[in-house]
Amino acid sequence: MTLGQLQAGAGHEFLFHYTDSARADAIIEERCFVSGPGVARGFGIYATDIMPSGAETIEDVIVHCFGGDATPAEVSHAVAVRRASGELQFEQTDDPYQWVLPTGKLELVHIEGIYVATAQFTGSRWVVIDQD
Amino acid sequence: MATARQDSVVKQPVPRRVSMSPAEVSPELRERLDQAQVLRDPRVRALWPRLKRSQQQAVLDPSTAIGHRYPLSSGEIAQLTGMSERQVRYWADHGLIVHWRKGRRRLFETVGLITAFSITNASQNELQFYRGVMEDSVVKLAAKVGILTSLLASRLEGIDPSEAAELTAPLGELTHR
């Protein structure tokens, strides 16, 4: 899976869950996602159709997905997930940039079947570091 | 013949297993996820803009210099920051460089490198000040923080409210304790 293929599928096939290094490792190694309460909906895995494409992506994600309340280190990894897989389906929120996969009250969720790949921001560009 | 028959069979795609369940994680991963939570603390967020560009770059991608992803060892933190390993251990053991332990080893995540760079950027006078207050009792430390808070409040007059809110966010965290 190349960065170009991830970008080509952004929005209709794939969504991107932006997170930090340790949480990305938890997803890569154990398919373990940290669920959180969002403004738009309750607990869930939040993702966006903003694709990793350049240095400006970091700022876009911080502004549009975190209301400006995050640092680049918190969103340095873009975990590509399938928008729908089996019975699991990300639902679009009222926010045009935000989708959510509801997880009930679970804070740590093991999810099989939605993971596609992970891209890391190196400070100047995005590099795919892992794929399913 | 047997091979030919096998080749002629149309391969069916293997259905993808899809499931969601509560995750049970190893103690090591739990420690790493706890560190990720500290990364989102307003006190840590306030440190990010004060790092040099090269330091921010190293935080985002330590593998360029170190050759692997987080977690980093004390020696690797020393290599990235220019501190000695002894200094790294000193500040870590006094709680100023955030870390976790695996057995006897101190391990550092993103938040650890950010706090380590912040120590590196501090002047000798500031470090001396930190060393001094580290020895203070909680009562004495609280009294000093009280004086500094009053000083900060007087200086915030005339500053844009949103900037003031950003600057004082770390203090607000104290009320959640």
Greatest Cα pair distance in chain B: 90
Work out the pLDDT band at A23, boundaries 50, 70, 90: very high
pLDDT confidence of residue B131: 83
Question: What pTM value is reported for the model?
Answer: 0.85
Inspect the interface and report whether the beta carbons of A21 and B109 lie closer than 8 Å: yes
pLDDT per residue as tens, chain B (177 positions): 444 455 556 666 666 778 889 888 999 999 999 999 999 998 899 999 999 999 999 999 999 999 999 999 999 999 999 999 999 999 999 999 999 999 999 999 999 999 999 999 998 888 888 888 888 888 988 898 888 888 888 888 888 888 888 778 777 766 665
- Kindly write down the DSSP assignment for every residue of chain A, as one continuous string: --HHHHHHTBTTTEEEEEE-HHHHHHHHHH-EEE-EE-SSSSEEEEEBS----SHHHHHHHHHHHHTT---GGGG-EEEEEESEETTEE-EE-SSTT-EEEE-TT-SEEEEES-EEEEEEE-SS-EEEEEE-
Average pLDDT, chain A: 93
Q: Which residues of A touch B40 (CB under 8 A)?
A: 70, 74
ipTM, 2 dp: 0.93
At residue B7, the pLDDT reads: 54
Q: Which residues of B touch A86 (CB under 8 A)?
A: 16, 18
Task: Yes or no: say if B132 and B125 are a contact pair by the CB < 8 Å rule.
Answer: no
Mean pLDDT of A30-50: 87
Kindly list the residues from chain A whose CB atom is less than 8 angstroms away from the CB atom of residue B69.
21, 25
Residue B43 has a pLDDT of 86
Amino acid, single-letter form, for residue B106:
R
Nearest CB to A73: which of B19, B22, B59? B59
The nearest CA of chain B is from the CA of A94 a distance in Å of 24
Contact B29 A29 (CB under 8 A): yes
- Cβ contact, residue pair A73, B19, below 8 Å: no
